[in-house]
């Protein structure tokens, strides 16, 4: 006898990279040297100070017990100070910041805290797949909103949509997957739209320090706290993807319901990880500049890869990926990606996994050393 899983599993698929990484692992077991230019997991190590802080804290006997569900006061203050330094925004550490086990966790917790079954969430027609999947997981309905050719929300189209039962909107700039940076005008329009329609605007902001000279927060807009939440993390900006450290920021009336959900799911973050996160947040701006210099060199190689494939692309992209439109003679992005993987043993991400607007695009990660990216380029040229 086999007990059947819940019906909700039919509402979404296994995460694409979960499936694809198994396929790549199988190919490598068969002796194929696959170069993975797909997933955005930083290959560079965190700063030495961060690892040392983890080691030092983990040696303290009293740091191994359960921790507060909302993180240590010291970590919340460090996050608040960091947001002030890098974005010029002010948040109250006690009740406007909630540390998370990675910001992906926050997408689920916010969805659980604010969406009732049947409520709708606006998601970009090309964006992080978790927005759709986790909306469905909690019984909500994900509704695509259109993006312009510049990968910005089409507010004219949004104003004509039937927004009945829409309670939440996901926004993500710098945009993943296109690398389109945020602008003050974009955030002002988004906040005004959310206020006018009575929608909770959730901005996902993990890429804003990577190859981006003008990092912005949604809270740079006056009055944004009335209708906005913002997620951020140390995964991309501090080379700490596997550490699972992120946070949710917003006014106390929105943080409270999310904490209520979170406190029933996990039992807090390991204190040594929190102390290491504080060390990461204290790194000088020069450290970020050095990281960006590495990514800038890799970005040049990624542009060469796209040119070799005959893709069209913009050079003003920011973040840790590059995004290009495939040639017209290719049937689709997924077919092209599979062909390259099968023939050249190079994996790139098809834009189809990010939504319908990505059907003729591919994404290349910058999270691989230059020599491996150069090898991938030579394979494609051959």
23 has a pLDDT exceeding 90: no
Residue 244 has what pLDDT?
96
CA angle 369, 237, 229 (to 5 degrees): 145
Would you state the structure tokens that stand for residue 195, as one six-digit string? 């206020």
Residue 363 has what pLDDT?
96
Residue 11 has what pLDDT?
76
Q: What is the mean pLDDT of residues 358-379?
A: 96
Portion of the chain with pLDDT greater than 70, in percent: 99
Query: How does pLDDT run across 37-61, given as a tens digit for each residue?
Result: 988 899 999 999 999 999 999 999 9
The pTM of this model reads 0.94
The CATH fold of domain 49-281: 3.40.640
Q: Which stretch of DSSP H or E encloses residue 64?
A: none
Q: Give the model's confidence band at 379: pLDDT under 50 very low, under 70 low, under 90 confident, else very high.
A: very high
Number of H helices, E strands in the chain: 12, 13
Residue 375 has what pLDDT?
97
Q: What is the mean pLDDT of residues 102-119?
A: 95
Q: What is the mean pLDDT of residues 297-321?
A: 96
Q: What is the mean pLDDT of residues 95-114?
A: 96
**Three-class DSSP category at 283:** coil
Residue 2 has what pLDDT?
87
Residues 6+ apart with CB under 8 A from 261: 109, 112, 113
15 has a pLDDT exceeding 80: no
Query: How does pLDDT run across 157-181, given as a tens digit for each residue?
Result: 999 999 999 999 999 999 999 999 9
Domain extents for the chain? 10-39+286-381, 49-281
257 has a pLDDT exceeding 90: yes
17 has a pLDDT exceeding 80: no
Q: Which residues of 280-305 are buried (b: 16+ CB within 10 A; e: fewer)?
A: bbbbeeeebeebbeebeebbebbbbb
5 has a pLDDT exceeding 90: no
Residue 40 has what pLDDT?
84
Q: What is the mean pLDDT of residues 227-256?
A: 97
Portion of the chain with pLDDT greater than 90, in percent: 89
Query: How does pLDDT run across 89-101, given as a tens digit for each residue?
Result: 999 999 999 999 9
Q: Give the model's confidence band at 24: pLDDT under 50 very low, under 70 low, under 90 confident, else very high.
A: confident
Query: How does pLDDT run across 187-218, given as a tens digit for each residue?
Result: 999 999 999 999 999 999 999 999 999 999 99
144 has a pLDDT exceeding 90: yes
Q: What is the mean pLDDT of residues 120-140?
A: 95
Lowest mean pLDDT among 10-19, 102-111, 240-249: 10-19
How many CB atoms are located within 10 Å of the residue 28 CB? Answer: 13
Residue 18 has what pLDDT?
79
Residues 6+ apart with CB under 8 A from 37: 302, 305, 346, 347, 348, 349, 364, 365, 368, 373, 376
- Report CA dihedral (214, 217, 223, 225) to the nearest 10 degrees: -170
Which has the higher per-residue pLDDT, 174 or 25?
A: 174
- CATH number of the domain located at residue range(s) 10-39+286-381 in this protein: 3.90.1150.10
Considering only CA atoms, which of 229, 219, 259, 276 is closest in space to residue 100?
259
Q: Give the model's confidence band at 347: pLDDT under 50 very low, under 70 low, under 90 confident, else very high.
A: very high
Residue 369 has what pLDDT?
96
Distance, CA of 294 to CA of 289 (rounded, Å): 9
């Amino acid at each position: 006898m086999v007990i059947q899983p819940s019906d909700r599993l039919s509402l979404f698929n296994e995460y694409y990279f979960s499936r694809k990484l198994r396929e790549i692992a199988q190919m490598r077991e068969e002796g194929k040297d696959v170069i993975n230019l797909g997933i955005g997991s930083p290959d560079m190590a965190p700063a030495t100070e961060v690892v040392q802080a983890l080691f030092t804290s983990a040696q303290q006997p009293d740091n191994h017990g359960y921790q507060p569900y909302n993180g240590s006061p010291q970590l919340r203050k460090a996050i608040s100070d960091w947001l002030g330094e890098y974005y010029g925004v002010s948040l109250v550490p006690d009740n406007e910041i909630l540390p998370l086990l990675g910001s992906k966790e926050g997408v689920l917790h916010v969805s659980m805290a604010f969406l009732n079954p049947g409520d709708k969430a606006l998601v970009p027609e090309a964006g992080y797949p978790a927005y759709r999947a986790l909306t469905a997981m909690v019984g909500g309905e994900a509704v695509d909103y259109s993006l312009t050719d510049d990968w910005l929300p089409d507010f004219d189209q949004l104003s004509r949509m039937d927004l009945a039962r829409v309670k939440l909107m996901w926004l993500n700039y710098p945009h993943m997957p296109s690398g389109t940076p945020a602008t003050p005008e974009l955030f002002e329009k988004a906040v005004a739209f959310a206020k006018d329609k009575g929608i909770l605007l959730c901005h996902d902001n993990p890429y804003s320090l990577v190859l981006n000279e003008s990092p912005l927060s949604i809270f740079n807009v006056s009055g944004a706290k009335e209708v906005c939440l913002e997620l951020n993390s140390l995964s991309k900006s501090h080379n700490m993807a596997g550490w699972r450290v992120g946070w949710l920021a917003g006014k106390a009336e929105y943080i409270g319901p999310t904490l209520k959900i979170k406190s029933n799911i996990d039992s807090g973050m390991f204190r040594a990880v929190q102390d290491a996160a504080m060390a990461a947040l204290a790194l000088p701006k020069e450290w970020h500049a050095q990281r960006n210099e590495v990514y800038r060199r890799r970005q040049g190689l990624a542009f060469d890869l796209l040119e070799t494939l005959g893709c069209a692309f913009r050079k003003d992209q920011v973040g840790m990926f590059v995004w290009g439109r495939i040639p017209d003679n290719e049937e689709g992005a997924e077919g092209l990606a599979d062909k390259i993987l099968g023939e050249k043993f190079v994996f790139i991400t098809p834009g189809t996994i990010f939504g319908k607007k990505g059907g003729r695009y591919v994404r290349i990660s910058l999270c691989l050393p230059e020599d491996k990216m150069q090898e991938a380029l030579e394979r494609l040229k051959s």
